[in-house]
Chains A and B, each alone.
Chain A
């Protein structure tokens, strides 16, 4: 069972976008990541290196013909850390919703759960 754990490394805005994208894919091409998350080559390299150093991402370099092709994916540890981080975020939101009546339009009151759907950002089993 996954326990919630807020992860400062993942929560940084750019890395959150990057990790969330990687969490939804297997291997992702460097160019696709760059364009999808909206980063420069150097910024993406830096973020991927940070994730790799933390053991959260794996980077693969291969050649397609003569062209180098770089891909990245989350490691099992990275995926677990992300799932735990999502649970921690959900707890924070749920805790706030429990303390105060949720105003209309607040994300926690946009009850996807009441529609029979998992909450936004919910962890797939």
Chain B
């Protein structure tokens, strides 16, 4: 122990360390715009494919692929700038992956249930409407999931959260 350091100073230093750890975790979270951008691309793809007019489905697929690559590139570039260490929140990866898998399964379930119901009811463009509904769930839920994941990682890492 260093007798020249006041306990309050040590506590402030520990708080600062916790804050910096939290900062690294928060900046690695998938940003809110990612969810909405992915949602827009997916809805556009659904509409293009469902229209079935000429080359529109292929244009939709190309647009979706290019857009997804750009979005993923931007997110991963930001993450590479200062990626959190794997051992920052020990044992958290299985839980985060399970949470993400459950969320994607729920979005898929919403899309299928809505699409099949609309098709059975004879509503036009059931795939596009179902996609729009599911993507609203995806975008809103994805941001909530990220907030939960981030808070969980901060707690697990011993940060201030």
Contacts and interface: CB of A to CB of B under 8 A. Distances in A.
Interface string A87-125: 011111101110000000011100010000111111011
Nearest to A90: B14
Interface residues of B, number: 36
A124 B17 contact: no
Given A20-B16, A36-B27, A93 B11 contact: yes
Q: Dominant SS at the B interface?
A: helix
A26 B85 contact: yes
Interface stretch (B18-26, B31-39, B46-54, B63-71): B18-26
A15 to B, nearest CB: 11
Given A16-B17, A86-B14, A89-B13, A124 B157 contact: yes
A11 B24 CA distance: 20
Contacts, number: 120
A24 interface: yes
Nearest to B80: A29
Interface in A25-43: 25-29, 31-33, 36
Interface residues of A, number: 41
B136 to A, nearest CB: 33
B15 interface: yes
B82 A29 contact: yes
B10 A36 contact: no
Interface of B: 1-2, 5, 7, 10-21, 23-25, 27, 80-85, 87-90, 155-160
Given A91-B1, A124-B87, 14 more contacts: A20-B17, A21-B23, A23-B21, A27-B82, A33-B82, A86-B14, A89-B10, A89-B11, A97-B7, A108-B11, A121-B13, A122-B158, A124-B88, A124-B157
Interface of A: 4, 6, 11, 13, 16-17, 20-21, 23-29, 31-33, 36, 86, 88-93, 95-97, 106-108, 112, 117-122, 124-125
